[in-house]
Structure 1
Amino acid sequence: MADPSVPVTDGHAPFVYENETFDTYFKVFGQLDGRTRDPLVVLHGGPGLTHDYMLPLSDLATVGIPVILCGQRHPWC
């Protein structure tokens, strides 16, 4: 799980819903620049759950498949 040789990037991405701006958290395992394979975008269950149980999917980055874990920020939260 989460091979230390794989680069990890995280941050927040803004989005607009009904003229209000929110943001959602993301974490990227592997490289998106110069990749040769499509990334896997992972949405965990929720609301209220974290992405922790999806971390084993980050192992795909060791074989060149970037993995993007996205938080689920709902406008009503």
Structure 2
Amino acid sequence: MMHSQRDLLLGLHAEIEGKRRQLLALDPSEFWSSKSQRAYSGCVADIVQHLDVVLHYLHEALASVRSQIYLEEELCPA
């Protein structure tokens, strides 16, 4: 059960990290000057910040699951 949770968390982490990278690559803010372009750039920055928080919590969840897997393997070696 914990192994499948770990795999799901790893997949989710990879997807979110990939989308974060895509958003960062889309942000041509240094070339944009109109008000709407700057607003869009600000929205992208906000989304990236939110994704960073999500990734932080995913790291914590992964650490917890890995710890549980380790404990299970220590208590019940195959």
TM-score by length of 1: 0.28
More helix by share: 2
Greater Cα radius of gyration, structure 1 or 2: 2
> TM-score normalised to the size of structure 2?
0.27
Higher relative CO (Cα under 8 Å, sequence separation at least 6) belongs to 2
Q: Write 1 or 2 for the structure with the bigger share of strand.
A: 1
